[in-house]
Amino acid sequence: MSTLRSTIDFLLNDWLDATSLNQRERFADHSRETFDAVLDTCERIAREKFAPFNRTVDAQEPHFDGEKVILPQCTYDARLAYAESGMLCAAQDYELGGMQLPYVVEAAANGFFACASVSINTSMLTSANANAILVAGSPLQRLVFAVNEFNGRWAGTMALSEPQAGSSLSDISTRAEADGEGFESDPLGPRYRLRGNKMWISAGEHELTENIAHLVLAKIPDEHGKLVPGVKSISLFIVPKKLVNEEGELTGERNDVALAGLNHKLGWRGTTNTLLNFGEGKYPVRGKAGAIGYLVGQPGEGLKNMFHMMNEARIAIGMAATMLGLAGYYASLEYAKTRTQGRPVGQGGKDASQAPVAIIEHADVKRMLLAQKAYGEGALALNLYCAKLVDEGRTASAEQADRAKLLLEVLTPIAKSWPSEWCLEANSLAIQVHGGYGYTRDFPVEQYWRDNRLNMIHEGTHGIQAADLLGRKVRMLGGAGLKLLAETVNATIQKAMAQESLSAYANQLARALAEVGATTKAAWANENPEEALANAVPYMQAFGHMVLAWMWLDVACGVLEKDTALSDLQNAGRMNATRYFFHYELPKIGAWLRVVKERDLTCAQMPLDAF
């Protein structure tokens, strides 16, 4: 029976050959042994400090006592164990206290935590924040903020959205005004006063760490004191909850950042989600309202600087969705093996005098389990593949690195959206396998389903991902990204053609790839974005299924290369999941592509009052 560890081991080592990265200078100290040691540690901490408390953080939702946000003790313990493991800066340079781990190994290792309890750990945000400061910040900002986040002393947030501006960041109205004379010469960076409301800020307030460094998008007004519409007027600021000096010590002053409310969510309740008021005067600084913020990078480059790590952030969401999918798969597999009920359908009908069988014996239960396996393990393959592209983009030779980056651009919307949609479906199947028990809070699967529903929303909704894919990614550089993807898929098709048991699937994938290509052209045939993008989501669904079929075919090739006898049951399982995907899933793309190809405007032209 496959486990998360055995699946990660196979994908990372047998399939992606992650240790080959160790030939590069940056990773030269690493080996299969060091990778395994990291995985061992994370698996253990996840088992001991995360998994037992997943229901606790759901039931004991964060609340505000008027002064502090109260979280259960297990959250402190889990965070501490995580920070102490060094995973907060696993991929960072040695000189920053990191271990120069490849990103693909870091991503895989973090998977154990997400599988154990997706919402208890908010360190992903801290890492993302610190990474953005590393890329765009000044040397002192790196030293004071990034380093203190990587070492676990402080936490970080990403404060982008506002109540009126979620998907549409061009409309943010948080204002940043120069903080008096000499604002430009603050050693921590040009000093501004920020005023505005930020919404959906995960981990925006808590007592888990000594301090919180908010990374805030805001607009510096023009010479008339007005905020310029659009994204090009957006700048990025570090706004610490408590003010610090250039040694990274707390000065003892509270910054003017106030919790305006906690969001009460459907799931993902281990993570506080907040509405923050910046600069409303609740905590005046030096006698004045306005939150002190330090400009990061150049004015007007806020979005670019914040989105530097966007691909990784989206892969991380894809991984979270994937891990929830797998968590449900493992739970329902366990249940199906132990729960007895009913008898197999046979030629002679059901014989009630026979003892009931484990429900995993029923074909429909097997179908629901195999679908979960195909969704979850397939999504994991895709996300690890993308994570490895991140490493390639950073450490491969220039030409190879450019190819990796380009391919990653095209695949990122799928790496984020596909697991969000299909591993949610997997969680629904996990409930269904449990029957009525799955609908109760005595079993974990209903929580996985609730937690997973967030992933189609945050870090760019499904609609945003689809518009990015069809509106930008497959068109950029004259379609070079799509062409590169097609070449890469074709390489797998060629490999698979040589395998008798896979050649039919290779042909099926070739047809799907051609169909996606033709549909892309048809969508843009008259270069009208209104028509082309009217069905961007069905396009992305079809594109995603084609990509996942490619992943499974490539995994199947990997299995056959390693073990042609298929003596290993786990490998037999992978071959069956491939078969499942080609028989049950890939044929779905026709219906999705049809409306895209025809530039169907049934929805787009629906009169508003006809709803």
Name which of residues 545 to 584 contact a second copy (CB under 8 A).
569-570, 572-573, 576, 579-580, 583-584
Is the Cβ of residue 170 or residue 501 nearer to a second copy in the bound state? 170
Q: Element (H or E) spanning 39, and its range? A: helix 32-45
Shortest Cβ 356–a second copy spacing (Å): 6
Strand partners, 291: 194
Of 117, 50, 594, 141, residue with least CA distance to 323: 117
- x/- mask, a second copy, residues 61-100, rule CB under 8 A, reads ----------------------------------------
User: Coil, helix or strand for 238?
Assistant: strand
54 binds a second copy (CB under 8 A): no
| Of the residues 462, 473, 495, 599, which one makes contact with a second copy according to CB under 8 A | 462
Give me the sign of the Cα torsion angle 569, 18, 424, 330. Answer: positive
Within positions 589 to 608, which residues make up the interface with a second copy, using CB under 8 A?
590-591, 594-595, 598, 600, 602-604, 606-608
Instruction: Provide, rounded to whole angstroms, the least separation between the CB of residue 221 and a second copy.
Output: 16
By CB under 8 A, the residues from 109 to 128 that bind a second copy are: none
Closest distance of CB 494 from a second copy, Å: 25
Report CA torsion sign: 468, 474, 479, 484: positive
Structural contact between residues 460 and 306, judged by C-beta atoms closer than 8 angstroms? no
Query: For the packed helices 363-395 and 398-434, what is the interaxial angle rounded to 10 degrees?
Result: 160
When the beta carbons of 163 and 187 are compared against a second copy, the nearer one is: 163
- 3-state SS string over 98-113? CCCCCHHHHHHHHHHH
**DSSP state, 47?**
I
Q: 417 vs 43, 279, 379, 458, 461, CA distance in Å?
A: 26, 35, 10, 10, 8
Whether the Cβ atoms of residue 418 and residue 552 lie closer than 8 Å to each other? no
Rule CB under 8 A: say whether 587 interacts with a second copy.
yes
Contact 391, 384 (CB under 8 A): no
Amino acid at 560: L
Should residue 365 be labelled a site residue for a second copy when binding is judged by CB under 8 A? yes
Nearest Cα to Cα of residue 369 among 433, 436, 444, 420: 433
DSSP letter, residue 48 = I
458 binds a second copy (CB under 8 A): yes
Task: Give the count of residues interacting with a second copy (CB under 8 A).
Answer: 106
Residue from 139, 181, 363, 567 touching a second copy (CB under 8 A): that is 363
Of 69-77, 248-256, 260-268, 280-288, which segment contacts a second copy by CB under 8 A? 260-268
Q: How far is the CB of 350 from a second copy (least distance, A)?
A: 8
Residue placing its CB nearer to a second copy in the complex, 13 or 170: 170
Nearer to a second copy, 171 or 301 (CB): 171
> 145 or 449: whose CB is closer to a second copy?
449
Which residue in 145, 449, 543, 552 binds a second copy (CB under 8 A)? Answer: 449
Binding mask 306-345 for a second copy (x = CB under 8 A): ---------------------------x---x--xxxxxx
- Kindly tell me which residue out of 20, 31, 164, 298 binds a second copy, with binding defined by CB under 8 A: 164
Site string for a second copy, 261-300 (x = CB under 8 A): --xxxxx---------------------------------
Strands (E), 101-172: 154-159
Considering beta carbons, is residue 393 or 538 the nearer one to a second copy? 538
Among 360, 384, 387, 547, binds a second copy (CB under 8 A): 360
> Residues 356, 498, 504, 521: which binds a second copy (CB under 8 A)?
356
Residues 478-497 interacting with a second copy (rule: CB under 8 A):
none
Q: In angstroms, what is the minimal distance from the CB of 231 to a second copy?
A: 7
| 364 in contact with a second copy (CB under 8 A) | yes
Residue closer to a second copy by CB (options 498, 604) is 604
Mark 79-110 as b/e (b = at least 16 C-beta within 10 Å): bebbbebbbbbbbbeeebebbbbbbbbbbbbb
Q: Residue from 350, 472, 521, 562 that binds a second copy (CB under 8 A)?
A: 350
- Cβ atoms of 258 and 49 within 8 Å: the answer is no
Q: Which of 89, 86, 76, 88 is nearest to 50 (CA)?
A: 76
Q: Can you name the residues that pair with 450 across neighbouring β-strands?
A: none
Q: Which one of 347, 399, 478, 500 is in contact with a second copy (CB under 8 A)?
A: 347
The span from the CA of 423 to the CA of 416, in Å, is 11
Residue 269 CB, nearest distance to a second copy (Å)?
Answer: 11
CB 324 within 8 A of CB 451: yes
> What tokens were used for 167?
């998907």
Nearest-approach distance from CB 33 to a second copy, in angstroms: 29
Q: CB-based contacts of 278: which residues, under 8 Å, 6+ apart?
A: 159, 174, 194, 195, 196, 197, 198, 216, 218, 239, 256, 257, 291, 293
CA distance 577 to 571: 10
Task: Out of 533, 542, 549, 559, point to the residue binding a second copy (CB under 8 A).
Answer: 533
Piece in contact with a second copy (CB under 8 A), picked from 146-154, 284-292, 425-433, 492-500: 425-433
Q: Looking at 71-79, 157-165, 207-215, 516-524, which segment touches a second copy (CB under 8 A)?
A: 157-165
